[in-house]
């Protein structure tokens, strides 16, 4: 079910609302119309997962500190926030929100690895994502594999496999922890 987005004029003000919750107010029509168009665009993302299935999956993890907001369709965990309507994940650090690629699949990957005891917390993983993105590296995470591609690496790609605890450095593969993988990547990217 989609969101109802409205632009109304009442008592000398233009209001932009999502599902009857006002998200923006302006006395000028131009500003309100720009915001309305932005809200419509942000909410037009086609989702492959329904909000109900995401909410159920997140609640099944039963991880302390996960906050699901059904009204605004967001999920918070530590320094990580997911917005369903835009399918974006943000790393919240030092009063800033850094957009990370990957959408719900990235958010779910982190929760799954924490739930399985393969990650201690979200912050270490998000820091790796942030540094990778800031250095124009391509980052992906699915199943048990984290892959980062950049010309700075031998053969262009490094990988960490949570199932085997192996670090693939392009020219070699060795046993190691996620933290060792992260340190290796940051040493090269920074």
Which residues have a Cβ under 8 Å from the Cβ of 6 and sit 6 or more positions away? 15, 16, 17, 20
DSSP state of 27: S
Taking only Cα atoms into account, the Rg of the chain, rounded to an integer number of angstroms, comes to 20
In tens digits, what is the pLDDT along the chain, a chain of 190 residues? Answer: 467 888 888 899 988 888 888 888 989 888 888 888 888 777 665 567 889 999 999 999 989 999 999 998 999 999 999 999 888 999 998 888 898 888 899 999 999 999 999 998 899 999 999 999 889 899 999 899 999 999 999 888 999 999 999 999 988 999 999 999 999 999 999 8
Domain ranges within the chain, ordered by starting residue: 5-42, 51-189
Residue ranges of alpha helices (H) inside 6-102 are 29-42, 51-61
| 85 CB-side CA count, 13 A | 18
How much helix, strand and coil, in percent to the nearest 5, is found in the chain?
A: 35, 35, 35
pTM of the entire structure? 0.75
């Amino acid at each position: 079910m989609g969101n109802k987005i409205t632009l109304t004029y009442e008592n000398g003000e233009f209001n932009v609302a999502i599902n009857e919750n006002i998200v923006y107010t302006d006395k000028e029509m131009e500003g309100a119309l720009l915001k309305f168009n932005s809200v419509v665009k942000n909410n037009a993302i086609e989702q492959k997962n329904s909000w109900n299935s995401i909410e159920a999956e997140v609640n099944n993890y039963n991880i302390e500190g996960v906050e699901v907001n059904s009204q605004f369709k967001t999920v918070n965990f530590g320094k990580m926030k997911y917005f369903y309507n835009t399918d974006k994940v943000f790393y919240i650090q030092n009063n800033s929100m850094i957009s990370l690629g990957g959408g719900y699949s990235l958010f779910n990957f982190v929760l799954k690895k924490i739930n399985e005891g393969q990650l201690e917390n979200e912050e270490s993983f998000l820091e790796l994502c942030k540094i990778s993105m800031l250095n124009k590296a391509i980052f992906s995470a699915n199943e048990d594999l984290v892959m980062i591609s950049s010309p700075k690496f031998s053969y262009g790609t490094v990988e960490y496999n949570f199932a085997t605890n192996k670090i693939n450095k392009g020219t070699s593969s060795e046993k190691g922890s996620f933290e060792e993988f992260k340190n290796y990547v940051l040493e090269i990217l920074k």
